[in-house]
Amino acid sequence: MDRPEPLEIALEGNCLRDLAGCILRFKNPRPQSDPTARQLLQVQEGRTGDMTASRKSKIPTVSDDELMRLLHSQEEIPYMLANVLYLEWFSKDNGRVVLESADFELEISEPAWMMSREEEVVQISESQENFYQFLDQLTGVAAQTDDDEDLLEDEVETEESEDDEVENEWGAVEEDEEPLNEFEWEQELREADKRAEAYQEAFDRYKEHPDRERLIAEAMGWDAEEIEEFRDEWEDVAEGFQETDPQVLIEQADHLVEDDNEEMHHPLSRRAMRFALRLQEDAEKLGLLKMEKVTKDSPLLSVIVSIIALGGKLAAALDGIVMGYDPEPGFIIAMLKRSQIPLNEALHSLASVDPRSLPSDARMWLATARSELFDLRKDILDVMKEMRQQ
């Protein structure tokens, strides 16, 4: 995968019973370039997760193109159950690393020693504990002192006793609750990000397990019953993390605009989505963006996808107002601050396009797009200023 040297794995722990005591040789018969592989440090130090060559997984039996078509149309995907090589570890520098494939050619030696069933149970428990420690690092729990943990427990008990204080997804609260300021909301949102990332890791690790819900609940520190309450909400989060195909994102934005309802969307979020789709149409007319040929690294495609993300951020911040909720000003400001990230990414991508190689009408189009992005930023800052005056 374009790496000059092989990884050097130095881990504390062991494989599961099918590989323990063995020499494993594996070969990828069809290696492909993957830039993400370069993010791994050459020396991987840490602890083992589950390491086995006999994990069952659902493998689609259709081509990649047909798989994408079925996903987009939400049709049933044909699959077969197959053994996969699954090597998981928790690196000090790269976090959770998983090597997983049903396509590798495997060669496993006779074991030099035999792991007993009891020893495997212990190893599975240790791997699970290593995973929990990794999630604690993601969410910041591992950085707490014992006193911090005691204080946290007291806070949780206090929160649970205050059943009348209801908070919804747009940051609206009952009148008797002290509203958070924008900086406190930023901290709340960062904590939510960490929990979402931790859930995604747990979902990915246990998605094929028949007892998935209980294992995810344990990993997240929930009671077994709580998983029912959180399942739909968090699986939507997980699907959002997994969706990275720019064309799919554009199609989703197109669908949202087609179903546009002024009673459901704030003018700024609706404007951003329409702006992104108009940019796509204009770029295609100018011959700058041919979706069947463009790569994910295309600056113009990055602009469009970033503005779609901007529309989503604005919707999360502002649509609650239009729908009749009463979000806290601090919540709105904190969310609008987050919208600056995709907006700046769009401006950066536009700046990376060399106008000297473009015809005059395309250069004019770039200047207009940049001007409209700055207008959007000004209007967002105006809303933030208005919220701060409340």
Q: What is the pLDDT of residues 209-255, one digit of tens each?
A: 777 777 888 887 777 566 665 555 555 444 444 444 545 555 555 55
Least confident among 271-280, 291-300, 356-365: 291-300
Query: What was the pLDDT predicted at 26?
Result: 93
What was the pLDDT predicted at 141?
61
Let me know if residue 278 belongs to a domain: yes
Does residue 350 fall inside a structural domain?
Answer: yes
Amino acid identity at 41: L
Are the CB atoms for 48 and 131 separated by under 8 Å? no
Whose CA is closest to 268, among 377, 172, 148, 353?
A: 377
What pLDDT, in 10s, does the model give residues 310-330?
888 888 888 888 888 888 888
**Average pLDDT for the chain:** 78
Query: What tokens were used for 13?
Result: 């722990």
Residue corresponding to tokens 């659902």: 58
The domain total for the chain is 2
For residues 224 and 123, the model is more confident at 123
* Tokens matching residue 8: 């050097």
The residue written with tokens 């399942």 in the block is: 231
DSSP states of 219-283 = HHT--TTHHHHHHHHHHHHHHHHH---HHHHHHHHHHHHHT--TTTS-HHHHHHHHHHHHHHHHH
Residues 233 and 195 sit within 8 Å (Cβ to Cβ): no
Residue among 353, 245, 341 at smallest CA distance from 299: 353
In single-letter form, the type of residue at position 200 comes to: Q
Domain coverage including residue 117: 8-132
Which region holds residue 74: left if phi is over 0, alpha if psi is between -120 and 50, else beta? left
43 in helix, strand or coil?
strand
Identify the weakest region by mean pLDDT among 154-163, 171-180, 366-375.
154-163
Tell me, yes or no, whether 50 lies in a domain.
Answer: yes
User: Which of these three, 132, 166, 192, is where a domain ends?
Assistant: 132
Question: Model confidence at 193, in pLDDT bands (50, 70, 90)?
Answer: confident
Of the candidates 125, 128, 123, which has an alpha carbon nearest to the alpha carbon of residue 16? 123
Tokens of 6: 């092989």
| Residue 195 domain-assigned (yes or no) | no
Are residue 118 and residue 252 in the same domain, yes or no? no
| Residue 381 located in a structural domain | yes
Q: What is the pLDDT of residue 273?
A: 85
Q: Are residues 251 and 377 in the same domain?
A: yes
Q: Would you give the DSSP letter of residue 106? A: E
The pLDDT of residue 350 is 82
Out of 110, 132, 154, pick the residue that ends a domain: 132
**Is residue 45 assigned to a domain?**
yes
Residue 165's pLDDT is what? 43
Q: In terms of DSSP bridges, do strands 105-108 and 24-27 run parallel, antiparallel, or are they unpaired? A: antiparallel
The predicted-structure confidence for 52-108, as pLDDT tens digits, reads as follows: 998 888 888 888 778 878 877 778 888 888 889 999 999 988 889 999 999 899 999
Question: For 372-389, how does the pLDDT look when each residue is reduced to its tens digit (9 = 90+)?
Answer: 888 998 999 999 888 888
Q: Which of 132, 147, 164 is the last residue of a domain?
A: 132
DSSP secondary structure, 270-295, as one string: HHHHHHHHHHHHHHHHTTS--TTT--
pLDDT, average across residues 43-54: 94
Give the pLDDT confidence score for residue 167 in this predicted structure. 47
Give a yes or no: residue 190 inside a domain: no
Asked whether residue 225 is domain-assigned, the answer is no
Nearest CA-CA partner of 313 in 375, 253, 242, 231: 253
Amino acid at 118: E
pLDDT of residue 108: 96
Contacts made by residues 175-184, CB under 8 angstroms, sequence distance 24+? 179/328, 179/329, 179/330, 180/328, 180/330, 180/331, 181/330, 182/329, 182/330, 182/333, 182/334, 182/337, 182/388, 183/330, 183/334, 184/330
Residue bearing tokens 């990915």: 204
